[in-house]
């Protein structure tokens, strides 16, 4: 019966899609992109194929329900686009695009069984600089397990700012969280360049900290910021240690439950990118906090993994509570810098950090 249903849904896709894009011909897939999105409920991975012309597409699931195949009829995948993309975010492991006997075939390997009715496949018309596109959205959870989804605080609710899920409020109520937007004022931090313009780390860290503060407050936490504007915490041109100690003092005086420092990394090799969670083992829970924040980044964002590392970072050592310094990608990487300076990037990171913080308190309570 179940098999028959799957057959039906696959068939439905077959009938439906050609309506969206009727014109067949020698179309080409010029590029493929993936992005882990947290702005839906449930969060989803979006796969976008850029097309040179309209195509006919057929989507089907295999028997086990964890491999989706989308065949683009009479279409050729450009050699630069035809390859395997390691996504490893949410429900998606890999995405493969290849040429198969005159058709282009997209295969999506999912981590668990997903219903065809939860997968969205649709066409987008050319718009401005954007070409025609075929979009595939893979949900992080299938509606088959929607009851557990509704309970999960990490399954959304942070999209707007109106209200956090009740379960988050229960977890975060009364918690004191110190957020430290790295650098500021006379200390610009690392410097990147985008379209000939200098971009400062201090501005990006603040643009992430703001939405994070709002989300945490909305969920009932007491948030203490080391700075909310572009300023030095100690005083302008203070020595590094004096400035860093002033940040630790803010957290220590507030008797914060956790201290989270937001930074953007930099390296001479511009192709390097990724996120690292740094901790210093002093309270017994520093590693736990770093792991929770790191895990959230890995689950909710498409960003290379540089691990959870222990070292002697000043703010991690000199705060009294569990602390973690997160490096959120590289300012020296143009692709990452575009994301970090976009209208949505900092908010996405804030949402991801929020979920990591909720997860941490869930684990220790």
Using CB under 8 A, list all residues that contact another protein: 182-183, 187, 189-191, 201, 239-244, 263-269, 272, 276, 278, 306, 309, 311-314, 317-318, 325, 327, 330-332
> Shortest approach of another protein to residue 364 CB, angstroms?
26
| DSSP code string of 135-203 | EEEEESS-GGGHHHHHH-GGGSS-SSSS---HHHHHHHTT-EEEEEES-BTTB--SEEEETTEEEEHHH
Residue 149 or residue 180: which is nearer to another protein going by CB? 180
* Helix (H/G/I), strand (E/B), else coil: 340: helix
Closer to another protein at the Cβ: 13 or 323? 323
Q: Which is nearer to another protein, 259 or 361 (CB)?
A: 259
Residue 170 backbone dihedrals phi, psi, to 5 degrees: -65, -40
Shortest reach from residue 353's CB to another protein, in Å: 17
- Shortest approach of another protein to residue 326 CB, angstroms? 10
Strand partners of residue 48: 33, 135
Strand pairing class (258-265; 305-310): unpaired
201 versus 218: smaller Cβ distance to another protein? 201
Q: Which is closer to another protein, CB of 78 or CB of 317?
A: 317
Q: 31: which residues sit within 8 A by CB, 6+ positions away? A: 49, 50, 78, 80, 81
For 265: left if phi > 0, alpha if psi spans -120 to 50, otherwise beta; the answer is beta
Nearest distance, CB of residue 33 and another protein, angstroms: 23
How far is residue 267's CA from residue 270's CA, in Å, rounded to a whole number?
7
CB of 268 to another protein, least distance (A): 4
Name which of 110 and 326 has its Cβ closer to another protein. 326
CA 302 to chain CA mean position, Å: 6
Q: How far is the CB of 240 from another protein (least distance, A)?
A: 3
Dihedrals phi, psi of 229, to nearest 5 degrees:
-130, 180
Q: Rounded to the nearest whole angstrom, what is the least distance from the CB of residue 203 to another protein in the complex?
A: 13
Q: Counting beta carbons within 10 angstroms of the beta carbon of residue 357, is it exposed (0 to 12), middle (13 to 18) or buried (19 or more)?
A: buried
Q: Are 223 and 250 in contact (CB under 8 A)?
A: no
Closer residue to another protein, CB minimum distance, 44 or 280: 280
Decide: helix, strand or coil at residue 230. Answer: coil
**Minimum CB distance to another protein smaller for 110 or for 264:** 264
Q: How far is the CB of 216 from another protein (least distance, A)?
A: 24
């Amino acid at each position: 019966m179940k098999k028959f249903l799957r057959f039906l849904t696959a068939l439905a896709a077959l009938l439906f899609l050609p309506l969206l894009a009727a014109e067949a011909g020698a179309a080409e897939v010029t590029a493929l992109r993936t992005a882990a999105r947290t702005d839906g409920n449930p969060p989803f991975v979006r796969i976008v194929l850029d097309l040179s012309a309209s195509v006919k597409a057929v989507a089907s699931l295999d028997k086990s329900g964890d491999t989706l195949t989308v065949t683009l009829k009479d279409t050729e995948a450009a050699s630069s686009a035809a390859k395997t993309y390691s996504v490893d975010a949410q429900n998606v492991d890999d995405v493969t695009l290849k040429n198969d006997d005159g058709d282009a075939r997209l295969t999506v390997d999912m981590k668990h069984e997903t219903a065809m009715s939860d997968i969205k496949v649709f066409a987008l018309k050319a718009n401005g600089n954007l070409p025609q596109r075929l979009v595939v959205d893979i949900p992080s959870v299938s509606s088959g397990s929607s009851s557990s989804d509704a309970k999960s605080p990490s399954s959304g609710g942070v999209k707007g700012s109106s209200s956090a899920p009740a379960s988050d409020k229960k977890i975060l109520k009364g918690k004191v969280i110190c957020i430290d937007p790295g650098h500021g004022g006379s200390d610009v931090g690392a410097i990147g360049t985008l379209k000939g313009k200098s971009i400062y780390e201090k501005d990006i860290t603040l643009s992430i900290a703001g939405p994070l503060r709002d989300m945490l407050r909305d969920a009932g936490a007491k948030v203490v910021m080391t700075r909310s504007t572009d300023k030095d915490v100690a005083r302008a041109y203070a020595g590094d240690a004096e400035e860093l100690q002033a940040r630790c003092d803010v957290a220590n005086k507030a008797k914060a439950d956790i201290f989270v420092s937001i930074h953007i990394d930099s390296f001479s090799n511009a192709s390097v990118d990724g996120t690292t969670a740094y901790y210093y083992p002093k309270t017994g829970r520093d590693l736990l906090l770093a792991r929770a924040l790191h895990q959230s980044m890995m689950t909710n964002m498409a960003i290379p993994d540089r691990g959870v590392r222990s070292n002697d970072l000043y703010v991690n050592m000199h705060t009294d509570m569990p602390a973690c310094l997160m490096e959120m990608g590289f300012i020296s990487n143009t692709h990452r810098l575009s994301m970090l300076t976009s209208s949505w990037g900092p908010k996405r990171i804030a949402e991801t950090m929020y979920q990591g913080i909720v997860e941490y308190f869930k684990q220790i309570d």
